[in-house]
Amino acid sequence: MRLSPMDFLLKKIQMKYIKYEVIFEAFAERHFIKTFSKKYKGAWDFTLKFLYQEFEQIDLLFLKNTAEYITNKDANVVICKTEFKISGTKESRHGSGNRCITVIHKDISKVKVLLVYHKNDLKSNNETVSWKSLVKENYPDYRSIL
């Protein structure tokens, strides 16, 4: 069976991807993750495991266009936004309104999950302004790159 050029590229990258250590920050767990856990119960546990696996291979998410760089993609520390769906639901990633804000530390192969939220969780009419404000307030180390 012959692979399309994109499938060939994905297969090649999967063989050489960097495996990142994934850390969900305490702020993320205390706030919106708690809401997801209560609302979706067992489905959330499965979704969380899936998110860990995806973030271990976060470079692949950019190839599939399910993640976007917010800050300079060539820097050692990069903030990005991803979309996800709850396991077992019929919503698409994009249509679900569920997002993660992560920071990739390329030099130490670590992904930190700063926020996990549904766009309706944010109090402002402007989603981007709202999550950037939360990051700046709760993660002073990343203020300067936003």
Query: What is the number of structural domains in the chain?
Result: 1
Question: If pLDDT is split at 50, 70 and 90, which confidence band does 64 have?
Answer: confident
Range of the domain at 86: 18-145
Q: Where are the beta strands (DSSP E) in 25-109?
A: 67-69, 77-84, 98-105
pLDDT at 122: 87
- Structure tokens that stand for 128 in this block: 């981007």
pTM of the model: 0.86
Residue 6 has pLDDT above 80, yes or no: no
* Residues paired with 84 in a beta bridge: 98
Q: Is 69 within the bounds of a domain?
A: yes
Beta strands 67-69 and 77-84: pairing type? Answer: antiparallel
17 and 57 in contact (C-beta within 8 Å)? yes
Question: If pLDDT is split at 50, 70 and 90, which confidence band does 93 have?
Answer: confident
Give the separation between CA 137 and CA 27, rounded to whole angstroms. Answer: 11
Q: Is 135 within the bounds of a domain?
A: yes
Q: Where are the beta strands (DSSP E) in 31-109?
A: 67-69, 77-84, 98-105
Q: Is 3 within the bounds of a domain?
A: no
Q: Is 7 within the bounds of a domain?
A: no
Range name among 12-26, 84-98, 100-114 with the lowest pLDDT average:
12-26
CATH at residue 140: 3.30.2310.20
Residue 138 has pLDDT above 70, yes or no: yes
Looking at residue 141, its amino acid is: D
pLDDT at 44: 92
Write down the mean pLDDT value for the chain. 89
| Region 75-103 average pLDDT | 92
| C-alpha to C-alpha distances, 42 to 54, 60, 138, nearest whole angstrom | 19, 26, 29
pLDDT at 60: 86
